[in-house]
Structure 1
């Protein structure tokens, strides 16, 4: 989850810089313009792989699926952690070889691929393949949980329902964006303003999970605002040496005082 949060910050950094470029109608600098597209492309593609690996991990841990007995072995989880790193390095190498394949169209406020590069089919493979795989695994995992609760006659916990609801909302939002970009936009012509709105929605995707958690999960909301507003008070002990007394053979003494910060 920390890996996913880091890559979401990675992607949002690129989309924030791109938003400044669209607002000012300026690329600021060519190097920053191309680097922003590369960062957005690598962040988005790696996030697709990470979410699929997370779905595999949850499916393997929660269900008792016989072919995945390797879930008890540490190498299984290490492979799931290493695979997104390999994909990230591969996408970075692809951006270096093909010289900035993903760019922001300043006039339209949307992202687009350079047609002469293979990056579009690569992104299509990860978007369609990984997302469908993750959807199938999450759907199967939810069915397994429902079946086990019916078998054991255990009532569903409200916290579990909220977690499933937040995951379903975030995943539905992502699948909706993928469906628009891959199944609708290539076959219709749109004016500039809806393209800009969809671009903002895609940029908003990494922050959607956090906002859903704040809106649905009360405990998470309390801890989030408590960490921002509360300041811990801790006692600090300072040992101050006593001043030396000249001309007298006295043992050294110390004064101790406690300060509350």
Structure 2
């Protein structure tokens, strides 16, 4: 059972990873979960104002269309760019893994220049490592209970029921409009919707509802457009959704 210290807010990829493991100790789709975990890492960095995802948007007959080839744009805010190659005495994010990912992103964008680093490319490269990293971290914190496999069974990771219920209650409260939608929950909800996990939890939004959230209608109205764009592209960039175009105005 978790005490107050252990119940402090997890990072976005830790939350997504924890909710991805079912009560049977398995994830429904390992490849999609890995991509979702890497997308959640980008989301955490976006929440910390270290990057944005720029979607390709066009307007046709007054309708805004997302092409969903999101490009990662790193956003240094001060001289001596945090985590940029070649700088020193750089302030960190406060999370070791996030600093490592940010440094890797700077290095990756440098090797691709002048071409942009796309979200889908990064998720393919980072996904498996991201899932292993955050699964391991959750096991160390006691949020996942590791059960080794045998000759006849596979390894399982059972989520702590108290913490899992607390996370789901937060999503339910937002869906029921009992609490306002904040930036963190925007990203978590978009990722859960993108992975299809909300179907398992009975929290599915319709496609028009998801598109309204992307446009900033209703609960998302007060949230910055750049964050809504980033969250929307991340949610729709998981493997099951790759290659699709979303029309904002259905």
TM-score (norm 1): 0.26
| Larger CA Rg, structure 1 vs 2 | 1
Which structure would you say has the larger RCO, counting Cα contacts within 8 Å and 6 or more residues apart?
A: 2
Report the structure, 1 or 2, having the larger helix content: 1
